[in-house]
């Protein structure tokens, strides 16, 4: 599940637990009880309840696959909770049949077991339906709505994040230009509407040749890109809600699901920045959480803020909402709406998310110098349609570096600092 936002001044939870927190803890506990009881009582394949559950699992696309549908980058505890949610209801239902058909409820203490299993079946079915893919948009939306926070709680989260911003300007270490690590920061991108099959094929050939991290395309081209990149380490990223981000809840979740079905390993989703600027924070959260919940756990989700349309305060809010919704990255821009990435905005985003998420800089990043500047500001991924040019420039600069070093030895001079900064591995 996406993490619940926290609004306590010290970074922990507020005093006292909310109704939803209590429900969630009870559900997780019920899941563990259902799991245990299922193993004890649910090993009789001839009972009708077992057969019914098996049929449901077979018919539902993906079934109760928590490893696939667990949302967001989660730690072991949250992963365990998700496992309990799915397996708890499964074994809870399975255990219910033998418990009644064999008359075990008449044994001492088994009445409590039956009650626990029934409660588990009720509560866990909610969590498990949300984690299934087949026709469950309504359930995902209901779940996301249940997680909405009051305005004062969101404001407390944003205020705390703003207060905790470091006044010191941190410069991050960029991978040395030309190294494998540097190349794997690049998402080779083709997002224009008039793109052709030949251009997509060329994009994929270039990405394969240079071994970029990904190619980023629209949904129309995902299947073709996946086919072209078979056998390589380059993955396919698909944009969702591109480029305005104002599409409906259903349109975004449908697009995301189709992209994943076609083989996309990453989703670059455009946040509804219009809702954000109007302070509809819970709606923005719902939008992102819905996409996160229809995408498998292994799929990387990047949320595009469109920073050119936001104030610094709104960028902070967008980052914290994306974090709460379970996204893996926050991304600066689409490249289609105003100014693209800036060092200032990348640095701000990195200061807000710290190590909880990563930052992708995109929009207007066209040279090696710009790539390095963005990475030194905190970006760990670069979105650009100029990947090939950047690699050619890197090769040229490396030759200049080699020549300058040789000249320096003769003349007693050092190469320019701008070159040594980019190519030094120390």
In the structure encoding, which two tokens stand for residue 35, read together? 């799991």
Residues 6+ apart with CB under 8 A from 18: none
Active site residue 320: no
SS3 category, 305: coil
Look-up of token digits 């094929």: 201
Residues 6+ apart with CB under 8 A from 131: 64, 65, 66, 69, 70, 82, 85, 86, 293
Q: Which of 302, 320, 331, 350 is catalytic?
A: 331
Q: Which of 268, 287, 320, 328 is catalytic?
A: 268
CB 51 within 8 A of CB 59: no
CB 297 within 8 A of CB 261: no
CB 307 within 8 A of CB 315: yes
* Sign of the dihedral through C-alpha 95, 98, 103, 108: negative
User: If 0-12 CB within 10 Å is exposed, 13-18 middle and 19+ buried, where does residue 134 land?
Assistant: exposed
Instruction: Give the Å distances, CA to CA, from 144 to 127, 147, 251, 293.
Output: 12, 5, 16, 9
* Sign of the dihedral through C-alpha 178, 183, 185, 187: positive
SS3 category, 304: strand
Instruction: Give the Å distances, CA to CA, from 209 to 202, 228, 230, 233.
Output: 10, 12, 13, 11
The 10 Å Cβ neighbour count of residue 397 is 20
* Separation CA 195–CA 188 (nearest Å): 14
* Sign of the dihedral through C-alpha 287, 288, 289, 291: positive
In the structure encoding, which two tokens stand for residue 18, read together? 């909310």
Active site residue 268: yes
* Separation CA 236–CA 214 (nearest Å): 5
* Separation CA 322–CA 314 (nearest Å): 12
In the structure encoding, which two tokens stand for residue 385, read together? 């349609």
Active site residue 328: no
The number of helices, as runs of H, and strands, as runs of E, in the chain is 18, 8
| 216 membership: H or E segment, kind and range | strand 214-217
* Separation CA 242–CA 335 (nearest Å): 11
Catalytic residues: 268, 331, 360
């Amino acid at each position: 599940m996406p993490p619940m936002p926290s609004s306590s001044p010290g970074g922990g939870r507020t005093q006292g637990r909310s109704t939803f927190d209590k429900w969630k803890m009870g559900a997780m506990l019920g899941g563990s009880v259902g799991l245990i009881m299922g193993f004890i009582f649910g090993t009789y394949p001839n009972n009708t309840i077992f057969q019914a559950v098996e049929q449901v699992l077979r018919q539902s696309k993906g079934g109760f696959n928590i490893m696939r549908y667990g949302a967001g980058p989660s730690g072991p505890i949250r992963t365990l909770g998700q496992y309990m949610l799915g397996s708890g209801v499964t074994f809870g239902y399975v255990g219910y049949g033998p418990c009644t058909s064999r008359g075990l409820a008449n044994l001492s203490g088994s009445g409590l077991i039956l009650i626990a299993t029934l409660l588990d079946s009720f509560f866990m079915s909610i969590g498990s339906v949300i984690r299934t893919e087949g026709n469950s948009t309504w359930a995902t939306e209901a779940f996301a709505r249940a997680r909405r926070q009051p305005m004062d709680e969101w404001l407390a989260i944003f205020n705390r994040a703003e207060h905790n911003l470091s006044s010191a300007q941190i410069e991050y270490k960029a991978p040395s230009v030309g190294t494998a690590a540097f190349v794997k920061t690049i998402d080779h991108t083709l997002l224009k509407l008039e793109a052709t099959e030949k251009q997509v094929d060329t994009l994929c050939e270039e990405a394969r040749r240079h071994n970029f991290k990904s190619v980023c395309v629209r949904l129309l081209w995902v299947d073709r890109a996946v086919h072209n990149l078979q056998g390589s380490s380059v993955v396919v990223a698909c944009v969702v809600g591109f480029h305005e981000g104002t599409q409906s809840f259903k349109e975004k979740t449908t697009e995301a699901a189709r992209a994943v079905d076609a083989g996309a390993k990453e989703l670059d989703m455009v946040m509804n920045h219009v809702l954000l600027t109007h302070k509809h924070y819970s709606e923005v959260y719902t939008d992102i959480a819905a996409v996160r919940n229809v995408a498998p756990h292994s799929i990387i989700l990047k949320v595009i803020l469109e920073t050119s349309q936001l104030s610094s305060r709104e960028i902070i809010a967008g980052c914290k909402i994306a974090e709460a919704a379970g996204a893996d990255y926050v991304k600066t821009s689409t490249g289609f709406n105003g100014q693209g990435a800036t060092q200032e905005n990348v640095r701000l985003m990195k200061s807000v998310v710290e190590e909880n998420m990563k930052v992708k800089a995109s929009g207007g990043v066209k040279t090696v110098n710009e790539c390095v500047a963005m990475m030194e500001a905190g970006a760990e991924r670069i979105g650009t349609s100029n990947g090939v040019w950047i690699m050619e420039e890197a090769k040229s600069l490396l030759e200049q570096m080699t020549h300058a070093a040789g000249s320096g030895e003769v003349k007693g001079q050092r190469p320019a600092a701008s070159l040594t900064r980019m190519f030094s591995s120390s």
